[in-house]
Structure 1
């Protein structure tokens, strides 16, 4: 049997064994797993991108990997609902060599068939969140919750530190990525040989692209925004990935009984149809530049794994794919418990 386009793309980045593991872990629509040939659709490429990012998160979040391992041991698959990203927006201009704020990712999302599906002010955090859903596979290709931190809403000291840290950002997109995105934008598809070269460049955008921060700048950011401090160490890596489960309350209780650190509260949307909770962020060792120029290593919050239950919207008869401002601000707290 010919290798599917999805497997071929995943293998190009992850290798055959890891690609097979991703395909065995995620519950995927047949339209995404059966496509084959020398041209790849934007939907399959988007799913391959998400598969690479899910695999990366599993390598960084031991608690999430343990949960997923349990699911696989029970012959169950994960329904990958959405991933979350954080970006930085200066008052004017780009963020280093990157387009400003969310534009660093909308230039990727829109050619791949995503559209903005919701706007969520996160005023308590001095941020704005936006949901991006896939036009071709709204329930089958994971959404993105893309947030933007507004640097100009903070103190002058914070703004100066943010410029020193995030102003060093590099742009990981090369010629192949730009060519592939242009093809997806124009035709909704691209040659798979080009897509194989573009995928590692595009997934490379979901990472730390700025220089190692000075410890003093990190402390300045952290004093006013746990979210800015998180971006300083983790960049645009997946903040979390989310499993769509039938009963989030039962899932959370089962994880507590296993001794895993789950958020105490279930976040419930205003409609009551979307319910979320999450593991607390796993901590990671990160390097900073100290006052004398030497390296300092601290344990800080990394990424985490989330659970969501979505009910049917009676007005449409379809699954409610919306997000909720209150839910989002509650979930953001999973990365606030930094230790110095």
Structure 2
């Protein structure tokens, strides 16, 4: 039984076979756009077959114009005689009569001892064979080769000894092991495009979409939590409202909040180096200013001492912890005063330079 389906992608309609739909589970591939779709869901009414074009009507035969009245001396032409078709010959029966069967087969259809007389002949002649339409093909007679022992045809009542004997039954050995036939699943393996379409359809089910959506949301939340943990100091500096939440998280994760590092937002407004009453002790004072709009972590200082020719004599690092730096960092638009006493012994220090850095 032919059915018709329509491709939802390109709109092409084509015929499909019901057995094909049953084997493939309804999945078919469009021959135009190669789209795989469920043919059972796109079944349409099969359009009626168009009637064969009719032969154009024969043009009417032009009739000769009416003859002009002839002079009375000329006789009129004889009227044309109607055309007669020859009668069809009666078809002969292709079924042979009983005598023909007996002549060909060599035996009597009435059994042995029964002769066919005038009555049988009359009866055979009185039976009218059904007429068959003429055939364009000539009958081909083929000889049939009978197996040995059956060269002649016997009646139904005669049973020979050779026919009554049967061949002995050959049984397989008991230790012969026959593997079972393959299961129906292996035998009815679905085509590759059908399996691919089923896998794609499985990923588009509402349950699978819900699972994928929940997994994506969970992974997104974990990623946001990881970013917040890594950038907790920057979040606390730029978004002060998040400080309580970040502090609660740090209690669970065993971390701490610290001011962010922004060395480019710090500047040294002033710095001095003076000698004290002790000949080998120098006093260093500096004023640092935070130019950012949020707290900044206090940096370490590096002092380089030089002589009157600019040669480097010594270098000293002052950690922020030794300078009593504020734990919350330098506030926004605030200053930090640095003071420290340094022992240089007998070095002829005449100049210095100070640099800020984070360790």
Q: TM-score range by the shorter chain?
A: under 0.3
TM-score, length-normalised on structure 1? 0.17
TM norm structure 2: 0.16
Q: Which has the higher contact order (CA 8 A, sep 6+)?
A: 1
Q: Which structure carries more helix by proportion? A: 1
Is the radius of gyration larger for structure 1 or structure 2?
2
